[in-house]
Amino acid sequence: MIYTNGAQTPMIEAVGLQKRYGETLAVKGVELAIYPGEIVGFLGPNGAGKTTTIKMLIGLLRPSEGSARIGGFDVQREPLKAKALLGYVPDQPYLPEKLTAREYIRFMAGLYQLDQKAAAQRGEELLRLFGLEERGDELLGGYSHGMRQKAALTGALLHNPRAFFLDEPTVGLDPRSARLIKDILRNVSDRGTSVFMSTHILEIAERMCDRVFIINQGAIIAAGTLEELRAGGDGSLEDIFLSLTGGSEEAAIAEALV
């Protein structure tokens, strides 16, 4: 693992990120730094601000205040340089349904101005890795949810991103596919890519992530390794999460009703 806290320039950085919708402050001054080779989990209840924060980090949303940088490039001021370094897979990836997987690979290679021959070779490697090689000439519109997720991952990994963002990457996947994605993310991080993923599956975060950030009501309320978050205790990540976000009361009520 390449991650060495403080010894390198962060690959992903947020400074005072805020997003306001009218009178509502949806994201409240988020600060974070993620280093090469790290897998970082981004946790929070529904509506806590996870997706909004990710969209500001990758340049899909303009922050009301603050800034985001990828590889040292400001996402708003130098968007092409910043976005050339990142890959992004949303929880419900949009794919052009009238393209085949191989046509989609060529399309993504054109967007990132990759050498077509090298991109085609890497695309075939990714299709084979995800078990899509024999389905590569079928239209994406006919793919199942799991296949679409794998095709989106293929497109996002085609240019070897240095910062990789995923929003609920294993939602709707069968256990084998979820395990494959987890193995790929660890492999990607071992090669120096920063991985930043939001997930509701705390077991995945506990097993995979080098650090976690917990956001609630638009603000980061905890950050660190599992050991740091425990602070001398023995609770699971689920226990810590519920305690910090107020979910422990609901859990106790649910247990009493059983």
The 10s digit of each residue's pLDDT in 83-127 is 999 999 998 888 999 999 999 999 999 999 999 999 999 999 999
Q: Please, what is the Cα angle at 17 between 168 and 202, to 5 degrees?
A: 25
Please give the single-letter amino acid code of residue 194: S
Domains defined for the chain, CATH in brackets = 12-85+161-257 (3.40.50.300)
Residue 2's pLDDT is: 40
- Name the residue with tokens 């975060």: 205
Which of 246, 251, 245 lies closest to 216 in space, CA to CA?
245
Tokens 């990789």 correspond to 164
How many Å apart are CA 136 and CA 100, to the nearest integer?
6
Q: Give the per-residue pLDDT at 247.
A: 62
Give the chain's mean pLDDT.
Answer: 89
pTM: 0.88
- Quickly state the pLDDT bin for 174 (edges 50, 70, 90): confident
pLDDT digit string, tens, across residues 177-207: 888 888 999 999 999 999 999 988 888 888 8
Q: Give all strands (DSSP E) within the chain, no chain letters.
A: 12-21, 24-34, 39-43, 65-70, 73-74, 86-89, 163-167, 194-198, 211-216, 219-224
